[in-house]
Structure 1
Amino acid sequence: MRILMVSQYYRPEGAHVVNELAETLAERGHEVVVLTGFPNYPAGVLFEGYRQSWRSVESDGAVTVRRVPLVTSHSSNPLGRILNYASFALSTLTASGLARRADVVYVYATQMTAALAPAIWRAFGGAPYVLHVQDLWPESITESGMLPPAVSKTVERSLSGWLRWTYQRAAATIAIAPTMLRTLRTRGVPRDRGHVVFNWGRRIADPTDPAAGGETGENEADGVGLDVMYAGTLGDLQDLDTAIHAAHLASDLEGFTLHIVGGGLAEPRLRRLAEELGTTNVRFHGLVPSDRMAAMYRRSHFQLVPLRDIEIFRGTIPSKFQASMSLGIPVVTTVAGDLTEIVRTNELGFAARPEDPASLARAFREAHAASAEQRSAFAERALDYYDKTMTRETSTARIEQILATAATEGTR
């Protein structure tokens, strides 16, 4: 197939799903072109070595990459974020020639605005398109805290009709969790065109190789006490305030530390909260180079996977869950809905209610009380679950088949 992939993010940005899908499809003999912006995520600053232009074409192995200009921004300023999303969507319209040559268009929908051009192309006889929905809209905008309530209502009303039109005309829509698919069906996705494909994890180290973690000068997790690690963005949606309060409630647990790795807009507030509580079992590590992350993972007994109590998150499976499973590390999660069900049903760790410090503190106590044998069993189940449901090979093969079926629409 001739596949055009539309994604606001692409290598060298760390959007591993679209990066690895493009690579895999090219390896399988397809002609792959990626239409993307100039790299600036997550800081909103253009990467060194890049200058924006209208005619930028480069090669990434067997993948052709066409870049279009956009407003670089990733701040808490809603105007900057909206301009960032909208400018990419409008810039992609200039690449209609790529769409005319494609058999199928794949849209990596972290922002649904990336679907604007593919939907318009299709309306005028262009190639069928497949949506790979990563975040539900409009809630990802209206419930992010960026917009005042009155503005959020206006944005929701203005986007809802366009989103339904886009879903209805897609040749297929891929959701990353069952609850997300059920929600998308209520918003226009035809029943026979909706699919669930779990995002795959990035196995950053061989879980069977004790030397893969690298040298850090600290001992790996040894079953003594409890080391829980959160690794990711420090933002409002992650609800790390609850995690810090819960850690404080569990401060009597011997050898218990909550490690927070990463950076973000909420970091100063979170550090102040820990200081005001006087908690001594929360440790901030800041941003850690990627080549040291395997070692960080190895020093933890459990990974913390939290999110706020928002309806759309019931159909969300954060990528840190797959990363943890790939290394055989069980989780403590506050993500209600699909993820809590997966963790409990498959015995992959412990689940607590979101935005409930007392509930999360109880989960920390259960994890602390787990014996070495129980933790080993958790690890074995985590690896088995990952290998059966969340590998790159399994998920990309399903997406390839969905694209092939969608491409037949263009030949009718």
Structure 2
Amino acid sequence: MKILIVSQFYYPENFVIYKIAETLQKFGHDVHVLTGRPNYGYGYILPEYKKIKEEEINGVRVHRVDLPARKRGRLSIIFNYLGFWYNSRKWVRKTKLKFDVVYSFQLSPVTILSAGNLYKKKHHVKHICHCVDLWPESVLVTNAVRKKSLTYKILYSWSKKLYRACDEILIGSPSYKEYFATTLQIMDKNIVFVPQPSLVENSRKIKTQNLGEGFNILYCGNIGTIQMIEMIPEAMKLVKNSLVKFHIIGMGPMSKKLVNKITELKLEDKVIYHGPLPSPKAAPYFKGANALFVSLKNEGIVGKTIPNKLVMSMAFTKPILAMLEGDGKRILTESKGGIFARQDVKFLARAIEKIAATPTSELKKLGELNQIYYAKHFSLETITRKIEKHLR
């Protein structure tokens, strides 16, 4: 098949879609990607990409369109989203390339589906949406807009129209299906659960970061309200085991509050904030940790989904300390590789004490169970074969 993948983000931006594209290419397909110039996480367009419109990466043909760089401000993010929306549609109108199918990897924003829908309409081919970030629910959970606002109503109407125009919808978490049926009232589409794989496939090739003596727990990811990271220093204040250290990597709207809380509670030696690190530099910390922490606030549909960092943590063959409900909790329960805490400071403190007191042999077993579950359900080849089946 000749496949057009639409994704606002692509390598060197650190999203798993580039691995999916390269795997489809290895399966024997002719894969093209319509994407933007790399800027996510940098705050500027990478200088070496300012003039590049076409390139080939590991056999995948990449077509890049202009867009304003995404910076921290909300207005900058809006211009970034609209820039790709406008210029990706412009590319579709002008291109003479013919494809058998369009596959849109839909992270935020949902507007990336517009180019795929336009190509479908113009060339009468199938358009598959892979929804891994639910809209407009995502803007509510992050408090970007209020549900009663005019902005939300516009986004709701636009999201529903974009989803409905797709031929089939793959969803990153089973709970999404309920949202499509009850909130978006889309029930006439084939909606199938196909998770996104981890960016890391073989952690054995990664070097191990020495985190020091003691029992080291790691959280790596976004530091926002739905991750409840502010609970970590409060829980660590209650932990009596002096050998336990909690390492945090990442950034987000709650970063400053987290740092202030660590300082306020005088926990700099027990809760170590490393700031944001790119994935290649963060991966050795996963290897060096005794356990990994995954959390998601039990609020709305998003709070019942599978956090991608849960899948990544399983790939690292590590035991997982989790504050999860819904699909994420079900998966970790099935793998039998985790210890759960209720979403409360006191219960989190108890769970930290429990996992730190678990014998090394038992921790190793928990990690192995997670890796086995990952290999069976979330490996790159397994997921890409499922995607390929829907593209045919």
TM-score (norm 1): 0.87
Q: Give the secondary structure class of the aligned counterpart of 2:49.
A: coil
Match in the other structure for 1:22:
21
Match in the other structure for 1:4:
4
Tell me the distance in 2 between the aligned counterparts of 1:315 and 1:175.
Answer: 13
Residues 4 and 99, structure 1, Cα contact 8 Å, conserved in 2: no
2:133 is the alignment partner of 1:145: no
Match in the other structure for 2:387:
399
Q: Give the secondary structure class of the aligned counterpart of 2:12.
A: coil
In structure 2, do the counterparts of structure 1 residues 287 and 82 end up closer, same or farther at CA, with 3 Å as the change threshold? closer
Tell me the distance in 2 between the aligned counterparts of 1:165 and 1:214.
Answer: 46
Residues 8 and 36, structure 1, Cα contact 8 Å, conserved in 2: yes
Tell me the distance in 2 between the aligned counterparts of 1:302 and 1:217.
Answer: 14
Residues 167 and 188, structure 1, Cα contact 8 Å, conserved in 2: no
Say which is worse superposed, 390-399 or 307-316, in terms of deviation. Answer: 307-316
Match in the other structure for 2:120:
122
Tell me the distance in 1 between the aligned counterparts of 2:96 and 2:289.
Answer: 46
Aligned amino acid, residue 27 of structure 2: R
1:22 Cα shift? 0.9
Tell me the distance in 1 between the aligned counterparts of 2:210 and 2:387.
Answer: 42
1:274 Cα shift? 0.7
Aligned amino acid, residue 119 of structure 1: N
Q: CA RMSD in A?
A: 2.4
In structure 2, do the counterparts of structure 1 residues 218 and 311 end up closer, same or farther at CA, with 3 Å as the change threshold? closer
Residues 70 and 91, structure 1, Cα contact 8 Å, conserved in 2: yes
1:80 Cα shift? 1.7
Tell me the distance in 2 between the aligned counterparts of 1:199 and 1:375.
Answer: 26
Residue-by-residue CA offset, 1:82-108 (whole Å, 9 max, x unaligned): 111111111111122448611111111
1:184 Cα shift? 2.2
Aligned amino acid, residue 64 of structure 1: R
Residues 35 and 92, structure 1, Cα contact 8 Å, conserved in 2: yes
2:101 is the alignment partner of 1:108: no
Match in the other structure for 1:180:
176
Match in the other structure for 1:214:
207
Aligned amino acid, residue 136 of structure 2: P
Counting only pairs closer than 5 Å after superposition, residues 23-102 of structure 1 correspond to structure 2 as 23-51=22-50, 56-75=53-72, 77-96=73-92, 97-98=94-95, 101-102=98-99
Residues 19 and 199, structure 2, Cα contact 8 Å, conserved in 1: no
Residues 134 and 176, structure 1, Cα contact 8 Å, conserved in 2: yes
Identity %, equivalent residues: 28
Match in the other structure for 1:311:
300
2:137 is the alignment partner of 1:136: no
Gaps of at least 5 residues in structure 1 are 405-412
1:113 Cα shift? 0.8
Aligned amino acid, residue 7 of structure 2: S
Residues 99 and 105, structure 1, Cα contact 8 Å, conserved in 2: no
Tell me the distance in 2 between the aligned counterparts of 1:179 and 1:383.
Answer: 23
Aligned amino acid, residue 207 of structure 2: G
Match in the other structure for 1:407:
none
Residues 334 and 352, structure 1, Cα contact 8 Å, conserved in 2: yes
Say which is worse superposed, 267-276 or 277-286, in terms of deviation. Answer: 277-286
Aligned amino acid, residue 169 of structure 1: A
Say which is worse superposed, 283-292 or 303-312, in terms of deviation. Answer: 283-292
Residues 201 and 379, structure 2, Cα contact 8 Å, conserved in 1: no
Say which is worse superposed, 90-99 or 194-203, in terms of deviation. Answer: 90-99
Residues 214 and 292, structure 1, Cα contact 8 Å, conserved in 2: no
Tell me the distance in 2 between the aligned counterparts of 1:188 and 1:25.
Answer: 32
Residues 227 and 301, structure 1, Cα contact 8 Å, conserved in 2: yes
1:234 Cα shift? 2.8
Match in the other structure for 2:324:
335
Q: Give the secondary structure class of the aligned counterpart of 2:233.
A: helix
Counting only pairs closer than 5 Å after superposition, residues 131-280 of structure 1 correspond to structure 2 as 131-147=129-145, 149=146, 153-186=149-182, 187-190=184-187, 193-203=190-200, 205-207=202-204, 212-214=205-207, 216=209, 225-250=214-239, 252-279=240-267, 280=269
Tell me the distance in 2 between the aligned counterparts of 1:52 and 1:122.
Answer: 28
Q: Give the secondary structure class of the aligned counterpart of 1:240.
A: coil
Residues 131 and 171, structure 2, Cα contact 8 Å, conserved in 1: yes
Q: Give the secondary structure class of the aligned counterpart of 1:34.
A: strand
Aligned amino acid, residue 234 of structure 2: H
Residue-by-residue CA offset, 1:13-43 (whole Å, 9 max, x unaligned): 1112x10111111112211111001100013
1:344 Cα shift? 2.4
1:257 Cα shift? 0.9
Tell me the distance in 1 between the aligned counterparts of 2:313 and 2:341.
Answer: 18
Q: Give the secondary structure class of the aligned counterpart of 2:103.
A: strand
1:204 Cα shift? 6.0
Residues 313 and 335, structure 1, Cα contact 8 Å, conserved in 2: no
How many residues of Structure 1 are paired with residues of Structure 2 in the alignment?
A: 388
Match in the other structure for 1:408:
none
Tell me the distance in 1 between the aligned counterparts of 2:278 and 2:38.
Answer: 19
Residues 117 and 127, structure 2, Cα contact 8 Å, conserved in 1: yes
Match in the other structure for 1:410:
none
In structure 2, do the counterparts of structure 1 residues 265 and 163 end up closer, same or farther at CA, with 3 Å as the change threshold? closer
